[in-house]
């Protein structure tokens, strides 16, 4: 089983719908991240959490919200999806002592 698991792996939805992407990890890391990847570009940070009570906006947080339900779980929500949120979304974890990132397999979201 993967150390960082994302669900769903693929989702097609319509404009205006609420969508939640979930991430769980078994690495025991404190830090969790949500990144977005658009075609031909690198990953951009949406939100990050250094522990359960610490949640911070990244560079592209508008239109997104997150919840850190437990150390091992970090979910990303799109309250009202729009077509330009069509992208590949990645969850990642890291340990605060070292900082090496470990990624989930990605969630491909299409908003029609």
Partner 1 sequence: GIQVEQSPPDLILQEGANSTLRCNFSDSVNNLQWFHQNPWGQLINLFYIPSGTKQNGRLSATTVATERYSLLYISSSQTTDSGVYFCAVEYNTNAGKSTFGDGTTLTVKP
Applying CB under 8 A, does 105 fall inside the site for partner 1? yes
96 is a contact residue toward partner 1 (CB under 8 A): yes
Q: How far is the CB of 102 from partner 1 (least distance, A)?
A: 7
Would you put residue 106 in left (φ > 0), alpha (ψ -120 to 50) or beta? Answer: left
Binding to partner 1 (CB under 8 A) within 23-42 occurs at 31, 33, 35, 40-42
Give the number of C-alpha atoms closer than 13 A to the C-alpha of residue 99, restricted to the C-beta side. 0
Find the shortest distance in angstroms from Cβ 80 to partner 1. Answer: 26
Rounded-to-integer distance, Cα 52 and Cα 1, Å: 24
**84 in helix, strand or coil?**
helix
79 vs 100, which CB is nearer to partner 1?
A: 100
Give the residue with the Cβ less far from partner 1, 41 or 70.
41
Contacts with partner 1, residue ranges (CB under 8 A): 31, 33, 35, 40-45, 48, 50, 58, 88, 90, 94, 96, 98-103, 105-106, 108
């Amino acid at each position: 089983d993967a150390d960082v698991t994302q669900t769903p792996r693929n989702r097609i939805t319509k404009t205006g719908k609420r969508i939640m992407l979930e991430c769980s990890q078994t690495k025991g890391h404190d830090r969790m991240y949500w990144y977005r990847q658009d075609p031909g570009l690198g990953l951009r940070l949406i939100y990050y959490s250094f522990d359960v009570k610490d949640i911070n906006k990244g560079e592209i947080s508008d239109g997104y919200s997150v919840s850190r339900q437990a150390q091992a779980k970090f979910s990303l929500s799109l309250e009202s999806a729009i077509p330009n949120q069509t992208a590949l979304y990645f969850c990642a974890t890291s340990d605060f002592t070292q900082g090496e990132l470990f990624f989930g397999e990605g969630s491909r979201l299409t908003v029609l």
